[in-house]
Amino acid sequence: MHKKVVILTGAGGALCSILAIVFAKWRFKVTVLDLKKEAIQRVSDDLNTFGGTAIRLVANVLNNASHVVAKKNQNWVLATT
């Protein structure tokens, strides 16, 4: 099976946190991005409960510099897992 990755921005919110769980159940690695560290920690904990793999990144995708750093961090995590 190919390793599949999905990136969800605003993942700490109600809708995207549910989507994250669905993707985790389908065995995707899920990158959760949000402005709030506590929110993505909660989503990450939920994903672990369902046997998923979460990559947590605090980022503001409307800020280009923040977005570039998040992408580099995600690529590094994916390369080492």
Tens digits of per-residue pLDDT, 25-56? 888 989 898 989 999 899 999 888 888 888 88
Q: And the tokens for 58? A: 């605090």
State pTM to two decimals.
Answer: 0.77
Of 15, 81, 65, nearest in space to 32 by CA:
15
* H or E element, residue 5: strand 5-9
Residue ranges of E strands in 10-70: 29-34, 53-58
Dihedral sign for Cα atoms in the order 53, 55, 56, 61:
negative
User: Are the C-beta atoms of residues 50 and 17 closer than 8 Å to each other?
Assistant: no
Top pLDDT among 49 and 71 is at 49
**Domains plus CATH for the chain?**
5-80 (3.40.50.720)
